[in-house]
Amino acid sequence: MDAGERLQLADWRRQVSALYGEVRVMAADDPRAAWEHWRRTRERLYRDHPSSPVAPAVRAGFEGRYFDYDPRLRFELPLAVEPESRDGGPDSGVGSPDGPPEGPDLGLAALLPISVGRPISFERAGHLEVPFESGLRRLTVFWLPEYAGGLFLPFRDATNGHGTYGGGRYLLDSAKGADLGGDPAAGTVVADFNFAYQPSCAFDPKWSCPLSPPDNRLDIAVAAGERLG
């Protein structure tokens, strides 16, 4: 990237961070209104901003598509801290009730698959026990152990490849501003699946995106958040 592109990307992240700040304030009184604001602003950014992940050839006509808002899919949940073990046991986090995750177990470290390139190293920050109507499902929350840090929650579900990106969606990526809030004193995180969104590589394969690992593959459909088509 040249200097101009870097400044545009910095502005993109600044605007996304500001949007989520507005969402957190609005959602305290009216989560649905906060979601509507999120939708409108994201659509404008994806259509008009030079750093939009949408391919330039189709950017001008971009229209966001979303499942209907479902208040039953908004939660504020305690973040259960992962034990410092390397046994790959049940506390390492699973996305379905079928057993521990597959793939390399590095204790608190985790190599997340990526759409293009080599896997990225994250740390398991903890997990959420999500009370879906079909029963509890566990999702691992990751931490990016780089300069700025940040919580990261990718997930896959039964809508992938059937209306949403096959590689899964993101719910949180606080290093890039996507942060729905929570209460640090109480140890909680807001997980509102109506704000689930596609990674950049869903819009243009030139982007390289970390994808959901086996930990976070849900065996149910989460009909909320952003759709494709």
26-62 pLDDT, tens digit per residue, is 999 999 999 999 999 999 999 999 999 998 999 998 8
* Residue 117 pLDDT class (50, 70, 90 cuts): low
Q: For residues 45 and 31, what is the distance between their CA atoms, to the nearest angstrom?
A: 21
pLDDT at 105: 38
pLDDT at 126: 94
* Residue 82 pLDDT class (50, 70, 90 cuts): low
- Which tops the pLDDT comparison, 202 or 128? 128
Is 80's pLDDT higher than 80?
Answer: yes
Burial of residue 4 (CB within 10 Å: 0-12, 13-18, 19+) is: exposed
pLDDT at 87: 38
pLDDT at 110: 76
pLDDT at 98: 42
Q: For residues 187 and 129, what is the distance between their CA atoms, to the nearest angstrom?
A: 13
Mean pLDDT score of the chain, rounded to an integer?
A: 86
The residues facing 178 across adjacent strands are: 173
Is 103's pLDDT higher than 60?
Answer: no
pLDDT at 215: 84
Is 172's pLDDT higher than 50?
Answer: yes
- Which tops the pLDDT comparison, 30 or 203? 30
Is 147's pLDDT higher than 70?
Answer: yes
Q: For residues 219 and 8, what is the distance between their CA atoms, to the nearest angstrom?
A: 39
* Residue 227 pLDDT class (50, 70, 90 cuts): very high
Is 7's pLDDT higher than 90?
Answer: yes
CA distances from 67 to 5, 73, 208, 224 (A): 33, 12, 25, 5
Q: For residues 96 and 212, what is the distance between their CA atoms, to the nearest angstrom?
A: 13
Over residues 125-132, the mean pLDDT reads: 96
Is 89's pLDDT higher than 50?
Answer: no
pLDDT at 83: 66
